[in-house]
Copies of this chain bind each other. A is one copy, B any other.
Amino acid sequence: MSNFKYLLEPRSIAIVGVSEETGRPGTQALRALRANGFAGKIYPVNPKYEHFDDLTCYPSVEAIGADVDLVIIGVPAKAVLPVMEGCATKKVKYALILSGGFRESGEEGIERERRLLEIARGAGIRLVGPNCLGFANIHAGVYAAFGSITREPKLARGGVSLVTQSGGFGYSIALACAEEGIGFRHVIATGNESDIDTVDFIESLVDDDQTQCIVAYIEGTRDGRRLLAAGRRALAAGKPVLLWKGGVTEEGARAAESHTASMTGTYDFYRALYKQSGIVEITELHEIVDYLKLLQSGKRLQEPGIAVMGVSGGSAIVFADAGARQGLKLCDLSAQTQERLAPVVPSIGAIHNPIDLTAGYFAEGNQDKLEIALRAVIEDRAVGGICVNIATTGASGSLVAAKVLTRVARDYDKPVVVFSSTPKSINGEARQVFADGGVPVFPSPSRAANALGVLLRLDRIKRSQTAVAGERGTPAAIKVGDVFSEMESKAILSEAGVPVTRDVLLPAGQMPDLKGFKFPAVAKIVSRDIPHKSEVGGVKLNLRTEGEVRTAIDEVLSNAARLAPGAKIDGVLVSEMVGGGFELIAGSVNDEVFGPVVMVGAGGIYAEILKDVSYRLAPFDESTAMEMLDELRCRPIFDGARGGAILDVSAAARALVALSEFVWANRETVQEVDVNPLFLAKDGVVAADALVVSRKPDGHGA
């Protein structure tokens, strides 16, 4: 992990590719650095000029007679490698390559990018780009960038840092935030990420004192594990990460292929990662603006109960609808709170939640009443936060509300948010008071609810993170390239702590030792030549005694001999038979980007057709496993829905934990695990069949 100090705040910058032609990236960067008051040295590089603007211009990077922290390269792709050789000779610390014509542009570009990285690695130079807009350190005036980042409007200073793979779209995020008064620390476009990637920057921004929130747009990541770790570290540091992942649908991924060639990865795994790290998923521009407004207030939402008060009943309903989808509740107010409200709320209003202050309440003369009402509500123990709907209230009423709300809000840790639909041109003064007082104003009650929902989830995930599983489980004696039968697989999983049914495979003619066997049992013919065992009388169920098992073995063998005379018989499999319960499936895949990911789902067609499945990155603890099971749509069945038995959910959770620890401990050797079916019963859970697949010798899976 690096703090990228001399990248993001360099003492000296060389710019290769300045030119009198208008619009060249290098020229734009040079002028942006100077226009924004960059305090360090600037060395333009172009052998054609002795001076550029009013600066000494150098024929090459090597010719600069002083240390260079950062070289900005804006020459055409074909000229980049020689420049990098010069940087290597000069031993610069960082290079920022604005130029396109690399990995994103076919075979030749891929090879060029490979060489670029090779030179950089050889010389210990860290790279940003290629094919990117550059970055700006807004606090220090370091505009190492071209294009929209360097143009109007100038971003204000603030606590948000933005990292984006796509310069064009990513900067739209900054513009949308800027329109709502949000200020920035760093804005970084990473382009092809040949060396330093988004996750590197997130990691470093967690340690940046001036960064309060991190926003990222990515199209893929090489290492989901580092993203998970960075997200968790950010959460622990109280610096929320908002992440927009482009290319999550098939259509989007196809469009991404023609863009910076990033691995788009599996959306299911990203979503698991969000839940396990507290990274906030973003799918729309204004969500970022809304969430930042609230997150910057620094408040925590520790209870799902929200009190809604204001002058618009419809707004309260809209808040409640959106809030319900976020796990928020319009909580009941205590009798004491209602007693405090009664004298200050008009009698035609309502002192229960939602609190109807009645039209025109936000007005001069009502300040004291409003303050009493707000304090009464915010001090109610069931209330985690307040949404005040001033709705269409005009300029003077908005100002009254702003003054009182900001005064009250600063005395409490609970979030106070506002819905106002009055145009800024009319209640701008009130909006400024709200902004200065850290009370976010949303343009709809539903968007206020969505932002509060994020705060609630972050609080819950943060609390659960104290219990995140460490690296547990011990590696099994599995080697790359091993092949396991189903029986062997079950033995391995059983050893790892996943309960399995007992099987005995008997060569033809041999009789079983059924000591310790749990009846009833099932006997099945085993032959690759008999795909449908039942059709040849090759399966006998419900065998209650050792005698019945013996008879059944004889029967399936003779049935097979009669009805499938040509089949080569491997023997008879005698297994404990699981009755009742609910059929789950579980499994794991060792993903190239995310490492071992564990899945659980409802069995049979539920998982395959209805996709009633849930994922988490291994390893994880029992509470996470419980969350996975809670996410299944079939979940009510475990609690006895439809008059069924109450099933042993915590046994299933423990089995998932054991599986997660097994696949994590064996991540170098195990590619895939399938447990199907995993029977969930009243008194435990048991895998009736399973397969462990080792990694292939080439390092990848089956």
Contact = CB atoms under 8 A, between A and B. Distances in A.
Contact of A320 (B249, B313, B445): B249
Interface in A626-650: 633-634, 636-637, 641-642
A693 to B, nearest CB: 22
Interface residues of A, number: 96
Contact of A321 (B178, B252, B285): B252
A86 interface: no
A637 B612 contact: no
Interface in A317-365: 317-325, 328-330, 348, 350, 352, 354, 356, 359-360
B259 A314 contact: yes
A447 interface: yes
A339 B298 CA distance: 55
Interface stretch (A207-215, A420-428, A520-528): A420-428
A256 to B, nearest CB: 5
B251 A314 contact: no
A592 interface: no
A314 B311 CA distance: 42
Interface in A168-193: 168-172, 175-176, 178-179
Contacts of A217: 314
A126 to B, nearest CB: 24
A276 interface: no
A595 interface: no
B251 A330 contact: yes
Interface in A254-295: 254-256, 258-260, 283-286
Nearest to A312: B168
A610 B612 contact: yes
Number of copies: 2
Interface stretch (A48-56, A144-152, A402-410, A653-661): A144-152
B314 A166 contact: yes
A455 to B, nearest CB: 18
Nearest to A283: B446
Nearest to A247: B317
Contacts of A686: none
A312 B254 CA distance: 15
Contacts of A637: 605, 609
A248 interface: yes
A695 to B, nearest CB: 29
A443 interface: yes
B609 A313 contact: no
B151 A313 contact: no
Interface string A389-413: 1011110000000000000000000
Given A250-B324, A285-B443, 9 more contacts: A168-B312, A171-B392, A172-B312, A176-B443, A251-B320, A255-B308, A258-B356, A259-B317, A284-B444
Please provide the 9 A-B residue pairs with the shortest distance between their CB atoms, ordered closest to farther. A166-B314, A168-B312, A169-B314, A259-B313, A172-B421, A252-B321, A148-B392, A249-B324, A251-B324
27 contacts: A23-B360, A105-B348, A148-B391, A153-B423, A153-B425, A168-B311, A168-B389, A169-B391, A171-B391, A171-B421, A172-B444, A178-B423, A219-B317, A246-B318, A246-B321, A248-B321, A249-B321, A251-B320, A251-B324, A251-B328, A255-B320, A255-B354, A258-B313, A259-B314, A260-B313, A284-B447, A610-B634
